[in-house]
Structures are given as C-alpha cells and as structure tokens.
Amino acid sequence: MKSTAFMVLAGIVALIVAPAVVYPMLMVKLLCFAIFASAFNLMLGYTGLLSFGHAMFFGTAGYILGLGMKHLGWPPEIGLLAGVAGAALLGLFAGVIAIRRQGIYFAMITLAISQLIYFVAMQMEWTGRDDGLHGIPRGRLFGLVDLENDYALYGLVAVCFVLALAGIHRIVTSPFGQVLTAIRENEARAISLGYDVDRYKVLAFVLSAALSGLAGGLKALALNYESLNDLHWSLSGEVVMMCILGGLGTLSGPIAGAFFVILLQNFLADKVGEWLSVIIGCVFLFCILAMRKGFVGEIAARFRVTNRSGRAAQ
Amino acid sequence: MTEIFGVPAQVLYGQLLLGLVNGSFYALLSLGLSVIFGLLNIVNFAHGTMYMLGAFLAYLLLMPLGLGYWWAIVLVPMLAAGLGIAIERTILHRIYRLDNIYGLLVTFALTMIIEGIVRVYFGVSGLRYPVPASLSGMIDLGFMRLPVYRMWVIFAALGLCLLTWVLIERTRLGATLRAGTENPRLVQAFGVNVPLLVTLVFGWGVGLAAFAGVLAAPLMQLTPQIGHSIIITVFGVVVIGGMGSILGSILTGLALGLIEGVTKVYYPEASSTVIFLVMILVLLMRPHGLFGKQ
C-alpha cells in the first residue's frame, strides 16, 4: 500500500514538473493517448473483450466538440461533456449490437461499425471530409481560464488525466470491476453465478467509450482541428497496440504503452519516413511473440509484484 | 429508353455487373478467410494486405521483368502462397495455443510491416496496370455493352471458388481437412501430418487473396491502401454469412456485392455503408449469421 501511495505522489509531481522539461503540447498529446489507452484497457485488460473500433469514440467526440465550439459557440467544458456523452451513446449502440457475438466476431463487428461511422463522417458536409475540421477555438474554461495559453491547456488535460485514472481505478476495484474480471476469467461461471453478463459487458463498453471520448475531445481541443484519421481503424489498432506493449490489465501499462508509441512516432517520424510503420509493426510483433505481458507486466513479473496483488485481488 | 424504377435500365445493368464483380472479390476473400479460420483458428487481418500485395507483385512482374498478365495470374498466387507458408512456419505456428485474439493482432502487425514496405518502395500515388490485350474490348448484347475483362473476372473468381469448394467438400484430401478442423489431435493420431496440412491451407488461402489482387489490378489505381477498406467489408460479409460454410461464404459475398451495386443506383450516398447496415440487421435478427452454426 505504501509503495502505491508513493507511486501516485511521484506521478503527480512528475505531471507538475513535466511542462518545464518537455514541450507542453507534446505532454498534452501523450496524456490524451494515455487516457485513450487506459480507457481501452477497461475493455481488453479487465473485461477480456477485444474491441477493434475504439477510434469511433475518440473521433466522434472530437467532431462533436469541434462542431459545437466552432459553429455554436459552446464553451470548452460543454464541448467536452457533449463529446463524452456522444461517445457514450455511440458506445451503447455499438455495445448492444456487438455483444451478440463473442470472441473474434466481437472484434470484427466493432471494426465494421467503426468503419460505418467513418464512411458516414466522410460523406457529411460538416466534417470537412478529407480536409478535416479546422479552426476549432479553445475558448475559456468556465469563462475564467484562457486555454489559448498552452500551459493552461496542459493543466486542464493533466487534471482530466488524473480524474480519468482515478475513475478507472475506482471502477476496477469496485464490486462491478470484480464482476468484469470474473467475466474475463470465466464467462460461463459468471453466468452460472447469476450475473447478467451482457449488461455488465455493455456497461463496461459504455464507460470505456465515454473515457475514449474524453481523450478524443481533449485532443481536438488541443490541436484546434479534427480529421478523419481519428476515426480510422488504424488508430483503433494503434490503441490495442499501446495496451499490449505496455501491459494489459494493469493501471500503468497502457500509459507506458501510449508514451512509448507516441514518443517513438515523434522521434522517428522525420528520420525514417515510411519505415516508421514497419518498425512499430516489428516491435508489436516481437512483443506478442516474446513478451505478452508488456513492458510493465514483464518488469512487475521480475519483481513478483503481480503475483501478490493478483492474489490480493482474488 | 427503358427505365426501371426511374433509372435507365442500362445504368442499372451496369451497376449490377459492377456489383457482381465486387461480389466475386468478396466471395474469393471471405472464402480464404473462412478456410484459414477453420483450420488455423486465426482471423487473418493481413488478408487485405495479401490482396494488395497480389496486385503489386503483378505490377512488379510487368514493369521490370516484362512478364505480362497471364504470367502474373499463375506466378503471383504461387509467390504469395510461398510467402504465406514462410509466415506460417516462422510466426503463426507459435501462437496456435493462445487465445485467438492474438491471431488477429499478429496479422495486424504483419499488415503494418508488409504495407509499410510496399509504401517505402512505391509511395502512395496510384499506379496503373493495363488490361491485357486479349481481354480488352466490349461485347454488345443489344440491351447493354459488357466489358470483356469484367466478365473474365467474374468467371475466374467464381471458378476458383468452386474449385476450392470441390477440393474441400468432394475429395479425400478435403475430407481429411474437414476432420482436422473438427479434431486435429485425433486426425494426427491416424497418421495424418496435420501441421503440414495447416501450412498448406494457409498458403492456399493467401494464394486466393493474391489471385483476387491480380484480377483486380487492371480495374483500379494501385495504392498500398487498396487492401484497407476491402478487408473490413469482407469482415462484414463474414459476420453476415458466418464462417462455417464455404458455399455460404460464396453466396453471401455475391449477394452483398449485388446489394451494393443496386444501392449505388438508387441511393448512392449509402453504397459504402449498406453492407454494414445489413450486418447490423442480421445480427439483430440472427446473431449467428445466415449460414452460421450455433
């Protein structure tokens, strides 16, 4: 317990010091994807459901926020809330349909639904189609804080990040989260114990979608634009990758994975050009074949941390 | 000019033909996916990439080597099958014991790698592959003009689908294969080399995808992204039809191609989404797909 409290404290100190060392906009991007990967982990890591369409929540929230703030004059807090609500609704729709099948079909159905959303967004006038939606204003948070200042924006993203993580921690340690783990470990047993497994799955899906929406909304707000890339399945694949590289079913794994992938992209993009996806693909392939627990999982296994906390959880 | 529901008949026939062409591709690809899934328990995300690779290999044979279309249609599926066999032997055989989501993820990584390499060498701008001289031109049927090449695509794709069906459902080898799908250990105990069978099946499936790529090459601009949307559409087809039945895959693929074609005539805005809408409807009414087993 002591070490956990220490980790949390160290994390918060790091978040406060970070913008003095790293460009705040890079930190913003890292944190947005860390939220996204953590939200995704709620599905694959804790419930054992592989969604291959999570970009639809990320991108949809970004478009909702962008359209509302650009054309309707919403303040940023309303934009974020609307984005989260929109993503959650879409999550409810996709979840109800996708849980009708299990395993690999679940992945294919989520992928297909996200492709549906992608095509719809591509045809709509108001998304700007291939050009994307440009010139989203950042506005003033609660009418007080001017987010045009990068440090203020970083503050908002950092607070959202801490809240999202606290929320996820709360979810997975709650009785609800224990049922999700039970579903992951043995679905038939969870059913025989009398749990309405489908309702738990849909709820987990909606929560994960809402948090993905938060990440997407924050990213659109920070970068002032939203594009179809944020709805594309390659982003859905990327978030799966972040989670697996970092380590599934741990709180810090997806964060580490997201940081790793984004930093790698950032540093290599102008050096290796098109080889980038080859390199990331190879890293991912190696990780699945040789270290399935991910960075965090492998390190934790070395120190035998997972064993103990795993037992405690049961 | 005759009209059908307010649309000139020629336009409708033209789109139906295009739908049939697309449907043949869906059939060929979903068939390959089903066969691979049946024996390897892997959903091959790289199937679209193999289709793309087929088209690019055909281009490579033509440009530096000067080997034309007929060479390509024989050699490319064999080359791709060889690559598939190498991938199965070095990578895929390591993950059979794992949950089958890892199969999807490994093949996703392969997609990134192979597609990245193609992008490095060819860039993202479109290349043109000419229609072979022996198949160019039109046939005038009176009520419409048929491009010969499109007819050939439908004929060749369905021919190969049927050949696969006969191989699996009507031969001794196919019977062993089906038994291997049911219970690999027992079949192994009877002295059948199941791992070899698995390797060959993966090669065959990949070969089918590459064959589809060669067939498609003269019909479009070749970019490294051509496998992107087709693979997801084919996933939709597979969810609708269920992966259990070969004839089911073929019929579902053709039917969805036709539905797409008709939609393009009457409500073009929905033509790219209609397959996914059908998928949602089918899931709501028959969650296990039209031909799926419980």
Q: Are A50 and A236 in contact (CB under 8 A)?
A: no
Residue whose token pair is 């783990």: A181
Shortest alpha-carbon distance between residue B223 and chain A (Å):
14
Report pTM.
0.88
Share of chain B above pLDDT 70, in %: 99
Question: For residue A1, what pLDDT is reported?
Answer: 53
What are B139's strand-pairing partners? B146
Distances (CA, A) of B111 to A182, A242, B4, B44, B106: 33, 17, 43, 10, 9
Q: Which residues from chain A sit within 8 angstroms of residue B111, using beta carbons?
A: 281
Statement: residue B177 has pLDDT above 90? no
Task: Decide if B91 touches A, using CB distance below 8 A.
Answer: yes
Give the best residue of B112, B228, B275 to mutate against chain A (max A CB count within 10 A).
Answer: B112
Residue A308 CB partners (closer than 8 Å, separation 6+): none
The 10s digit of each residue's pLDDT in A70-79 is 888 888 889 9
In which band, very low, low, confident or very high, does the pLDDT at B85 lie, cut at 50, 70 and 90?
very high
Average pLDDT, chain A: 86
Put simply, the answer to whether A276 touches B116 (Cβ < 8 Å) is yes
Q: Which of B104, B272, B276 sits opposite A104 (nearest CB)?
A: B104
Q: Closest-CA residue in chain B for A94?
A: B280
Q: How many other CB atoms are found less than 10 A from the CB of residue B139? A: 10
Question: For residue A2, what pLDDT is reported?
Answer: 63
Task: Decide if A237 touches B, using CB distance below 8 A.
Answer: yes
Statement: residue A10 has pLDDT above 70? yes
Q: Which of A233, A275, A285 sits opposite B106 (nearest CB)?
A: A285
Residue A296 CB partners (closer than 8 Å, separation 6+): A246, A247, A250, A252, A253, A256
Q: How many other CB atoms are found less than 10 A from the CB of residue A124? A: 12
Helix (H, G, I), strand (E, B) or coil at B238: helix
Give the best residue of B90, B97, B101 to mutate against chain A (max A CB count within 10 A).
Answer: B101
Residue B12 CB partners (closer than 8 Å, separation 6+): B4, B262, B265
Average pLDDT over residues B199-204: 92
In which band, very low, low, confident or very high, does the pLDDT at A310 lie, cut at 50, 70 and 90?
very low
The 10s digit of each residue's pLDDT in B47-79 is 999 999 999 999 998 888 888 889 889 999 999
Please, what's the b/e burial string for A153-183 (b: 16 or more CB within 10 A of its CB; e: otherwise)?
bbbbbbebbeebbebbeebbeeeebebbbbb
In which band, very low, low, confident or very high, does the pLDDT at A239 lie, cut at 50, 70 and 90?
very high
The C-alpha atoms of residue A45 and residue B18 are separated, in whole angstroms, by 43
The C-alpha atoms of residue B21 and residue B258 are separated, in whole angstroms, by 9
Shortest alpha-carbon distance between residue B24 and chain A (Å):
20
Question: For residue B1, what pLDDT is reported?
Answer: 56
Name the helix (H) or strand (E) containing B147.
strand B145-147
For chain B, the C-alpha Rg in angstroms (whole number) is 19
The C-alpha atoms of residue A92 and residue B281 are separated, in whole angstroms, by 16
Shortest alpha-carbon distance between residue A282 and chain B (Å):
7
DSSP string, A20-68: HHS-HHHHHHHHHHHHHHHHHHHHHTTT----S-THHHHHHHHHHHHHH
Q: Are A35 and A211 in contact (CB under 8 A)?
A: yes
Beta strands at B3-4 and A145-146: parallel, antiparallel or unpaired: unpaired
Statement: residue A25 has pLDDT above 90? no
The 10s digit of each residue's pLDDT in A106-145 is 888 898 899 999 988 888 877 777 777 888 888 777 777 7
Put simply, the answer to whether A100 touches B287 (Cβ < 8 Å) is yes
Q: Which residues from chain A sit within 8 angstroms of residue B276, using beta carbons?
A: 112-113, 115-116, 119
Q: Are A83 and A216 in contact (CB under 8 A)?
A: yes
Name the helix (H) or strand (E) containing A89.
helix A76-98
Name the helix (H) or strand (E) containing B37.
helix B9-40
> Angle formed by the axes of helices B194-216 and B9-40, to 10°?
160
The C-alpha atoms of residue A284 and residue A294 are separated, in whole angstroms, by 10
Half-sphere exposure of A199 (CA within 13 A, CB side): 5
Task: Decide if A290 touches B, using CB distance below 8 A.
Answer: no
Question: For residue B34, what pLDDT is reported?
Answer: 87
Distances (CA, A) of B28 to A104, A138, B87, B129, B205: 21, 49, 21, 21, 9
Question: For residue B126, what pLDDT is reported?
Answer: 81
The C-alpha atoms of residue B284 and residue B282 are separated, in whole angstroms, by 5
Residue whose token pair is 């048929």: B146
Task: Decide if B239 touches A, using CB distance below 8 A.
Answer: yes
Of A115, A117, A139, the closest CA to residue A217 belongs to A139
Q: How many other CB atoms are found less than 10 A from the CB of residue A37? A: 31
Q: What is the ipTM of this complex?
A: 0.86
In one-letter notation, the amino acid at residue A225 is Y
Q: Which of B105, B238, B287 sits opposite A108 (nearest CB)?
A: B238
Q: Quote helix, strand, coil % in chain A, to nearest 5.
A: 80, 0, 20
CA B180 to centroid of chain Cα atoms: 23
